[in-house]
Amino acid sequence: MDTINFKETHKKVEEVLNECKNVIVNAERKRLIGDAVSNSECLVAKSGTLATWTDPDSTGRSPKDTVIVKRPESQIYIDWNSPNNLPVTDKVFDEVFEDAMDMMSKHNRIYVNDRVIGADSEYALPVKVITSQALTSVFVDNMFRSVPEDLHKSCFSDKPFFLIALPFNKLDQSKYEWKLRKLPNGKSTDKIVVMDFDRRIGIVIGTAYLGSVKKLMFTVMNYYLPFENVLPLHCSANEGADGKTALILGLSGTGKTTLSADPRRALLGDDEHGWSETSVANFENGCYAKMININPEKEPEIYRAVLHPDYYLNHGAIVENAMIYPNGEFDFNDERLTPNSRASYPLSFLDNIKESSVGGHPSTILFLTADATGVLPPVSRLDRNQAMLWFLMGYTSKLAGTETGVVEPQSTFSRFFGAPFMPSLPKIYAKMLGDKMEEHNTCVYLINTGWSGGKYGVGKRIDLNYTRAMVEAALNGDLKNVEYEYNTLFHVNVPRTCPGVPSEMLIPENTWASKEEYRKTAENLAKQFSDHFDNAYGRNDISPEIKKNCPGK
């Protein structure tokens, strides 16, 4: 994996930095915030929050412009069958790199942040973030971790990663027109998010969306860590008073944020974690929360962290692409700019956290799915092969009305509950999950936070109080010794009883008025699972033991 001499590339970057006019290295937070405001990169809201807006075409990640350099040294580990792993040649990367160096040299100011990704010093990845924007440096200060004193313990201590972020520069479209993505107007894209795992460098040009920086580094970690026997996970993690750690995985709309923010459990982190041979550890120093329709009563911790009414002005929380009024107040219910308004803030802005962001091996893992067809059981227990299957599928539903033309709930599959950020071969992540849950006797449960008694529009969404009761029963062990019924269509084990939940609703067929309609709907969903498995994994080496647990198989 390390046959290419990445140090030569890093040396070139350092040489250009030495020639830049004004390089600000590891500036204090107060200085970075002041520069971001004085440089007109953001406004200060009434609450002291930094408010910023991107171009209309950069209000989210740009997956079609996110690419990986395909080199002989690493290409055998990457799943090029995945539509999320878009390759570019080393020649294209070299051209982008030279352009980035030229762009850097022309900026009046360059900011450098030395940070690490990973709370566990055994595999903390040193990252040098080089950017033309002070606000990007504030974001990095929010999201990435300070360099620990014992970094020498890390397997990456002598293999740092460089990230160059030039949000408002643009690629020369004519120069790249035969090599990068074509736009509807016939020109080539002027932005790129590129990762070179071998040269250990990433470059962001042309997009100011702050999530591009965060997710690039997440993808990098997800590639490197399996080589160190660390399973990277797109999940939240918290710890109970008994010291037991739980992981919660789920796509947008499944309730991951709501269910992980439990006042009785200390939060390790809300989004990115690694499960090593010794612990579970957060990758990040902060949170990057969706703000659209945030409810201060249901999510008070997030709301307070972002708006910080009791803190000094300019505290460094960043709100991105939310509506703001002349009085300096946000309207988080207005999605005319984008439904993807976001907020970045350090974990320390939350009250109930575990400061180390490191916990023991998880005793429980929860997979969340919001099934809008209403046919999945509200709670199921998964054995090793079942868990690996549902981990591979990453299922939830896209609801009617969320996008133009969506009139019926649509099945959505995102492997490992974070497909765009998991570049390696799927069998690698799946096997690691199975091995680790078996080694540490970890219980895995599938929690359906979606519909019961019928599909969306007919049945009702499962009451949050019932969902919380199921989560509590899973976490405290109440579901370990109850009687189970095997669901032959979806290949899951369904409890006959669960404290705090009516037994009749645990078997979804019981809640439907028409058993025939239930059967048709369930079989249709199972077929969608089967078809997706064949399309996604037909060319991958997925074991028959996992495959036979796929619904419809």
Going from the C-alpha of 521 to that of each of 378, 380, 535, the distances in angstroms are 16, 19, 21
What's the distance, CA 314 to chain centroid? 27
Is residue 532 within 8 Å of 550, Cβ to Cβ?
A: no
**Residue of 71, 58, 285 lying closest to 193 (CA atoms):** 58
What's the distance, CA 135 to chain centroid? 21
**Residue of 130, 139, 132, 196 lying closest to 169 (CA atoms):** 132
Is residue 230 within 8 Å of 221, Cβ to Cβ?
A: no
Listed in sequence order, the residues at least 6 apart from 312 whose beta carbon sits closer than 8 Å to its beta carbon are 48
**Residue of 127, 113, 104 lying closest to 35 (CA atoms):** 113
Number of Cβ within 10 Å of residue 403's Cβ equals 9
Residue with tokens 């509200």: 378
- Listing DSSP states for 499-540 in one string gives TTB-GGGGSGGGG-S-HHHHHHHHHHHHHHHHHHHHHHHTTS
| Angle subtended at Cα 493 by Cα 487 and Cα 497, rounded to the nearest 5 degrees | 105
Max CA pair span of the chain: 74
φ and ψ of 162, to 5 deg:
-110, 135
φ and ψ of 173, to 5 deg:
-60, -40
Burial class (CB in 10 A: 0-12, 13-18, 19+), 459: buried
Q: What are the residue numbers of the active site?
A: 61, 215, 234, 252, 256-257, 271, 342
Burial 530-551 (b: 16+ CB within 10 A, else e): eebbeebbeeeebeeebbebbb
Report the chain's terminal Cα–Cα distance, integer Å: 37
Is residue 63 within 8 Å of 414, Cβ to Cβ?
A: no
